[in-house]
Structure 1
């Protein structure tokens, strides 16, 4: 089968069945792209997630674009990006067309109240998996917790956290290399 069509279909399917945004897509992307299709390894997936998070724009689009580019350069990136974005576009278009008819419907409101906890779980699971792959342990677990509390409790912009983390990682890397070469 044509890899462009296959990658488009894969990301279209992921886009249709994902509620809660890009982070909720991570388990589905991982299952399809890493486990089933073997397009990227688990380590590559972790790296792609890190890069997609640090780039401006929508996370789901970023990661789809990076995976598509890895598969077949620009055309692969276009196929996966359109595959990811098209379901959301069509769903939003349908909602916009019919929103006034069901916005006050108690059944629709109840459905969305029921979906919210599931979305939290869809975001929590990849967060824990990322923590495991990042080799967090009892000595390093304080770092993401401190950053999360700083963002949430003090209202510090995540951009500053990313800059601080990048500088800290750079310094740590330099110090580690100096110790190894001594």
Structure 2
């Protein structure tokens, strides 16, 4: 016999004992239930029948939310709805207007800054170009001076070489005359 079937038995069936072979007792009244059936009924009611606990929780929930709090949650939700509606209808458009105004201002400032940067960059490029031209001109001038210096050095070298050659010839002539004079004296 299952636990649910034992608890749902009618008093007439409860009088029948599963051990008596299905015979009814005499009409002295209902026989006390078998102790095992009593224990099975208690186990069923404690473990499987949650209705009393659920009913208690439901009563507490109803008492907490309907009696104690009343319509406080509804008022809070209504206030939130009003706040959100006000934000959507008034605050959000104002914020958008301010944002667009500030964005336009920032955009204008950004354009002005970009133009200034372009002018500065152009000036810098012009200055670099002038410096490069000055450097190239200076380099050409130094090359010209160097070439002139080298020409002077060659002409000076030629003059020095020529003087040296003349001096050598004079010395040769002088030594030659000295040798002749020496040869005259020694003989």
Shorter chain as denominator, the TM-score bin is under 0.3
When the two structures are superposed, what TM-score results if normalisation uses the length of structure 2? 0.19
When the two structures are superposed, what TM-score results if normalisation uses the length of structure 1? 0.20
- Greater relative CO, 1 or 2 (CA 8 Å, sep 6+): 1
Structure with greater Cα Rg:
2
